[in-house]
Amino acid sequence: MPLVQTRKKTRTLHVGDVAVGGDAPVSVQSMANTRTEDVAATVAQIRRLEEVGCEIIRVAVPGMEAAEAIASIKKQISIPLVADIHFDHRLAIAAAEHGADALRINPGNIGSRDKVVKVVSCARERGLPIRIGVNAGSLSQEILDRFDGVTPEAMVASALENIRILEELDFFDIKVSLKASDVTRTVEAYRLLSSKVDYPLHVGVTEAGSLFPGVVKSSLGIGMLLSEGIGDTIRVSLTRDPVEEIRVGQEILKSLELRRFGPEVVSCPTCGRCNIDLFSISEQVEEALLGRKTPVKIAIMGCVVNGPGEAREADIGIAGGNGIGILFEKGKVVKKFPEEQLVEVLLAAIDAFEKKQQA
């Protein structure tokens, strides 16, 4: 039985040149944590994110300087940029005019109808989608009273109210996120919304925490939803370098066999037979492989006797111990060398594998 159920059919929209929803692959996105008006720092961070495969980037637009900075940022990056605006319709319009590829703004928070109309007209003229981003922490008092607190139903009601405002203006280029910081409410809210609308869903668990709890919560929350066919684009939220968010997001999609992103590294958990520093070796290899595109399964194993056999499904592998390093392919030893060359021999073998694949 396949791990991922049939994907829920959603509308397709485009954020720049990235399709979201419908049959488009589930994309991985992140948010810059630099001050947007610091163009050099923001561009440098987005370029690092592009290198590891980030497909859409969001930046905060808390003021006019940030909105205007988008023009310079856009000239120096290659992935689509989403402007994240709270409340102020003038910032949304300025961000669009300066080249944002999408807006994240909740129409219910903008104020009077004429302000909403201005934002929607501006988005429509430029072909920009709008993401409605409902956050469990910022529901209106009226909704909190109606649903007796922050429930999945309250989050969905807030999303539907925002959706209705856009639909009444004949605007349907909408994607929606519904984030809570706990897995249960997040999953229940997305399930409920998915049963009611066919807009593409941006899935994530917000404020998931630092690396360890963040990875667990995001993998569970995003993974459960994707396995039910819910979710068109994902963002892993971590209190970390956003590069880590992309790595985790890609691992989630790879684990569910929804996408392939470059090399897949497996390494043994180590046991009493291991007498090399496998933790450091696997970290060095993973760092060196960041951003590589060729799908190749790599094994890093802790002992020369059992390692190759245990990792016979890997395309290429290394194992070491007692001063000897070995390189193996599909479980068969192809080369022996001094143990201190483990990382360099593996990287050279991966280069050769990539060349063969490209030939």
Short-list 253, 280, 296, CA closest to 29: 253
Residue 325 contacts ligand SF4 per CB under 6 A: no
- 242-255 and 211-227 helices, crossing angle to 10°: 40
- Any known ligand binding at 54? no
Tell me the β-bridge partners of 267: 300
Q: Which one of residues 306, 329, 331, 341 is an interface residue with ligand SF4 (CB under 6 A)? A: 306
User: Does 312 engage in binding with ligand SF4 (CB under 6 A)?
Assistant: no
Residue with Cβ nearer ligand SF4 (72 or 275): 275
CB of 198 closer than 8 Å to CB of 10? yes
User: Is residue 302 close enough to count as binding ligand SF4 by CB under 6 A?
Assistant: yes
Give the nearest distance from C-beta 301 to ligand SF4 in angstroms: 4
Binding mask 271-290 for ligand SF4 (x = CB under 6 A): x-xx----------------
| Distance, C-alpha 38 to centroid of its chain | 23
* Polymer length in residues for the chain: 359
Which spans in 61-197 are helix H?
A: 64-75, 89-97, 113-126, 141-147, 152-168, 183-196
Q: Using an 8 Å Cβ cutoff, are 331 and 306 in contact? A: no
- Considering the rule CB under 6 A, would residue 21 count as an interface residue with ligand SF4? no
Cβ closest to ligand SF4, residue 150 vs residue 278: 278
Q: Which is nearer to ligand SF4, 21 or 321 (CB)?
A: 321
Number of chain positions touching ligand SF4 (CB under 6 A): 12
Among 307, 317, 320, 325, binds ligand SF4 (CB under 6 A): 307
Closest separation in Å from C-beta 211 to ligand SF4: 24
The candidate with the shortest Cα–Cα distance to 110, out of 137, 134, 88, is: 88
**Cβ distance to ligand SF4 smaller for residue 226 or 343:** 343
Q: Is 303 annotated as a binding residue?
A: yes
> Cβ distance 157 to 112 under 8 Å?
no
Residue 310 known to bind ligand: yes
Q: Which is nearer to ligand SF4, 257 or 313 (CB)?
A: 313
In the complex with ligand SF4, which residue's Cβ is closer, 121 or 280? 280
Query: Shortest approach of ligand SF4 to residue 9 CB, angstroms?
Result: 44
* 301 near ligand SF4, judged by CB under 6 A: yes
Candidate residues 72, 109, 181, 270; the one interacting with ligand SF4 per rule CB under 6 A: 270
Is 242 or 302 the residue whose CB approaches ligand SF4 more closely? Answer: 302
Q: How far is the CB of 216 from ligand SF4 (least distance, A)?
A: 23
Q: Kindly write down the DSSP assignment for every residue of 187-232, as one continuous string.
A: HHHHHHHHHH--S-BEE--TT--SHHHHHHHHHHHHHHHHHTT--S
| Residue 242: Cβ within 10 Å count | 25
DSSP 8-state secondary structure symbol assigned to residue 258: S
**For ligand SF4, which is the closer residue by CB, 140 or 306?**
306
Site string for ligand SF4, 86-105 (x = CB under 6 A): --------------------
Question: In the beta sheet, which residues pair with residue 76?
Answer: none
How far is C-alpha 131 from the chain's CA centre?
16
Among 310, 315, 325, 339, binds ligand SF4 (CB under 6 A): 310
Instruction: Give the residue at shortest CB distance from ligand SF4.
Output: 302
Instruction: With H, G, I as helix, E, B as strand and everything else as coil, classify residue 126.
Output: helix
Residues forming beta bridges with residue 19, ordered by sequence position: 14
Strand order in the sheet with 264-267: 264-267, 297-301, 316-321, 324-329, 332-338
Helix (H) or strand (E) holding 277: none
What is the rounded CA–CA span in Å between residue 287 and residue 156? 40
Which range, of 29-37, 177-185, 247-255, 269-277, touches ligand SF4 by CB under 6 A? Answer: 269-277
Binding site for ligand SF4 (CB under 6 A): 268-271, 273-274, 301-303, 306-307, 310
Binding site membership for [4Fe-4S] cluster: which residues?
268, 271, 303, 310
